[in-house]
Amino acid sequence: MTSTFSKSREYLRHIDGIRAIAVISVFLFHLNVPYFSGGFVGVDIFFVISGFLITRLIVQELNESGGFSFSNFYLRRLRRLGPAMLLTVFASFVAAYFQFAPADLRQFGGSVVASLLSVSNIFFWYESGYFDTESALKPLLHTWSLSVEEQFYLTWPLILIVSSTLLGARRTVLVVGAIGTISFLVNLWVQFGGSGFTDLKSAMFYLPFFRVFELVIGALLVWAWAWRPKSAGWNDFLTLLGLGMIAVSIYYYDENTPFPTYYALLPCIGTAFLILAGDGSRIRYALTNGVSVRIGLISYSLYLVHWPLIVFWSYSHQLTSTAKAGIFVAALVIATVMYFLVEQPFRSANRLPMLGRNLPFVTTSVLLAALMATPGAHAWAHKGWLWRLDPGILALIDPQNVAAGPAHTRFKCLLGRGEDPSAFDEECYRIRPNGRPNILLLGDSTASGLYPGLNELLGEEANIYLTAVAGCPPLLGLDIRTSPRCGEANQYLFKTLIRNHAYDLVIMKSLASDTMFQRYFPATRAAISDSGTNYLVLGRGLEFKKGLLTLITQYGKEAGLDEFVERNLQAPCGDEQGIDKFVPPDNFLSLKDIFCADGKPTFRDGSNVYFIDGVHMTRFASRLAAKPIAAWIRANDVLRPGS
């Protein structure tokens, strides 16, 4: 391969400035700072940088020595990444042990093992789903991107070496470009492949092959280096263009932007422009100033520590503006200390060329990883160490408690956010020709929790159907950003499904706000009336500021638990949050009346808790809530033949 660099391991100061943009963008995105809704593209900026630097290192070694030392390459990676990662995992384990509920500690234990084995991206992909532990309870979630890079390190040197040996340098460039092109085309195939590819979209986010094209964009810069612009004017233009492309993606993208797909090209190509032109531009000071470079130097440690700090604080406290500022400063301080006391001392030994001289370091690293992975695996296999808790609390939050599982159906009657409405199984809505009344339960994911109780209580007298879309209130005309295709789903449900099926009753349950009801319920009511169907709107019910099991574990004792839970309600008993104002009284039923007594919330019956998280009912609660709904149904003669 032809070298395109004047000297081996040449330090490019402006790249640390680009790293600073990447890590600060991710950090501010995780802190929910305004104007940084697309800050997650910082990860993609890192991918481009890694693709460039790793490919440059491999090409330079091949050019200078005519060969490649795999042992030295992987030792450098281990010394560069291992010590800070081990320290972060250890500190997170200590914090999780004292703070996390068993279910959360169990998940954390699995993520410890996966992170240390560099497969956390696969772990988080495998467990992803609507009822998955929310991301705010996963201190090691951010390590998925590090696992992608480490998997890239395992295969990329071999690909380049085999390609250059068999095909030569020029054709190696074509091979690299072809790999990136295929990766990008597969992204597009999944994105536009229709409902059949819905399950692949989380894989597209987490798995390495779907991200390879981003790393390849950086890798191709190695061969493009010799053709960099020579004039300051062109370098200025590319630098400004690159900064602008990254800024646009950070500002305009959000969690609903399909990713990576073609949306990733904007920040990735922008990063490529900065790498090519940044050190030759007259405005390079934007990247090479002392502050940017210093943040870039500590960017790895800063990336490692920022998310666990956010998670552990948010687990027990509100993430206020003051807290965000404190976490930001604390992360910078901790990352700086880690850089000088952990990263630098171990990286300085990179010059040792032989495995034997590094054997103590390698052995110690493996032993430390095993010492952390073993309790992590044990916590995963043993219910998150239930023995840490008092017996009374233990009974309430035991994951094996029959009341502590999300209620669901056998068929695909609950669609995820953004799924095609046609993905519903026919059994979820198709009228059964048995002469019984037909009742359709319609709503977001909270509606699905009512299905088991209603079906158990009324299943012998009526046909109970369910069509629910996560995060999508059943209001005609409503289109909500947090649930893509919600408007399309509601159009299908009200204009096609309800109109074409002879339901006797439609029950609606969701977390819709009063403003949503005020604006969209009139059209919804009209559509139902046009179909000749009766309807019942259920109130939002009890909602908690955090997951109920988390609150119980956080408080940790029986005395005063009821009062503590009450203080953590989103709205008190008796407050229907304005929904009842826009629904006729005869067609509205409060769920708070079910879970409140004398103005106080009830969240358990013995050891049976009523909510699996902050809003979703357990099976036990589903049966409890079904009773007054069934009473309303009987009182309104829905079950009477010919009603």
Per residue in 223-248, pLDDT (tens digit) is 998 888 888 889 999 999 999 999 99
Which residues contact residue 587 at a Cβ distance below 8 angstroms, ignoring those fewer than 6 apart? 535, 536, 537
Q: Cβ of 588: how many Cβ atoms within 10 Å?
A: 17
Instruction: Report the alpha-carbon distance of residue 499 to residue 529 in Å, rounded.
Output: 10
Helix (H) or strand (E) segment spanning residue 299:
helix 299-316
> Would you say 222 and 55 are in contact if contact means Cβ atoms under 8 Å apart?
yes
Instruction: Report the alpha-carbon distance of residue 71 to residue 352 in Å, rounded.
Output: 11
610 falls within a domain: yes
Helix (H) or strand (E) segment spanning residue 468:
strand 463-469
Which residues contact residue 253 at a Cβ distance below 8 angstroms, ignoring those fewer than 6 apart? 37, 38, 40, 41, 259, 263
641 falls within a domain: no
Encode pLDDT of 103-146 as tens digits: 889 999 999 999 999 999 999 988 774 334 467 789 999 999 99
> Would you say 219 and 55 are in contact if contact means Cβ atoms under 8 Å apart?
yes
Give Cα separations from 553 to 24, 378, 548 (angstroms). 33, 20, 9
Beta bridge partners of 617: 611
86 falls within a domain: yes
| Residues 577 and 535 reside in one and the same domain | yes
Main-chain phi, psi angles of 133, to 5 degrees: -55, 130
Beta bridge partners of 609: 604
Report CA torsion sign: 485, 405, 566, 629: positive
| Residues 353 and 405 reside in one and the same domain | no
> Would you say 250 and 288 are in contact if contact means Cβ atoms under 8 Å apart?
no
Q: Give the CA count within 13 Å in the CB-facing half-sphere of 346.
A: 24
pLDDT for the residue 642: 52
| Residues 550 and 445 reside in one and the same domain | yes
Distance, CA of 596 to chain centre: 33
pLDDT for the residue 350: 52
Boundary-marking domain end, from 388, 418, 451: 388
* Residue position matching structure tokens 């100061």: 13
Instruction: Report the alpha-carbon distance of residue 520 to residue 487 in Å, rounded.
Output: 11
pLDDT for the residue 130: 38
Boundary-marking domain end, from 388, 405, 426: 388
8 falls within a domain: no
CA-closest candidate to residue 12, choices 320, 304, 306, 218: 218
Which residues contact residue 282 at a Cβ distance below 8 angstroms, ignoring those fewer than 6 apart? 232, 235, 236
The packing angle between helices 102-116 and 70-99, to 10°, is 170
pLDDT for the residue 64: 80
Domain of residue 536, residue span: 397-636
Main-chain phi, psi angles of 81, to 5 degrees: -110, -30
Give Cα separations from 263 to 22, 214, 246, 434 (angstroms). 16, 11, 11, 50
Structural domain count of the chain: 2
Beta bridge partners of 273: none
Q: Which residues of the chain have pLDDT under 70?
A: 1-9, 129-134, 194-199, 348-357, 398-410, 641-643
CA-closest candidate to residue 144, choices 214, 215, 52, 43: 43
| Residues 383 and 401 reside in one and the same domain | no
Structure tokens at 237: 């233009």
| Residues 375 and 479 reside in one and the same domain | no
pLDDT for the residue 482: 75
CA-closest candidate to residue 1, choices 156, 168, 175, 158: 168
Instruction: Report the alpha-carbon distance of residue 119 to residue 140 in Å, rounded.
Output: 12
3 falls within a domain: no
Helix (H) or strand (E) segment spanning residue 334:
helix 321-338
* Distance spanning both ends of the chain, measured CA to CA: 81
| Residues 249 and 280 reside in one and the same domain | yes
Instruction: Report the alpha-carbon distance of residue 79 to residue 82 in Å, rounded.
Output: 6
Instruction: Report the alpha-carbon distance of residue 286 to residue 295 in Å, rounded.
Output: 13
Instruction: Report the alpha-carbon distance of residue 611 to residue 602 in Å, rounded.
Output: 11
| Residues 552 and 570 reside in one and the same domain | yes
229 falls within a domain: yes
| Residues 349 and 432 reside in one and the same domain | no
| Residues 408 and 291 reside in one and the same domain | no
| Residues 187 and 122 reside in one and the same domain | yes
> Would you say 299 and 20 are in contact if contact means Cβ atoms under 8 Å apart?
yes
Boundary-marking domain end, from 338, 357, 388: 388
Instruction: Report the alpha-carbon distance of residue 426 to residue 413 in Å, rounded.
Output: 9
| Residues 222 and 182 reside in one and the same domain | yes
Whichever domain contains 623, its CATH number is 3.40.50.1110
Q: What is the pTM of this model?
A: 0.79
5 falls within a domain: no
551 falls within a domain: yes
> Would you say 469 and 421 are in contact if contact means Cβ atoms under 8 Å apart?
yes
| Residues 361 and 484 reside in one and the same domain | no
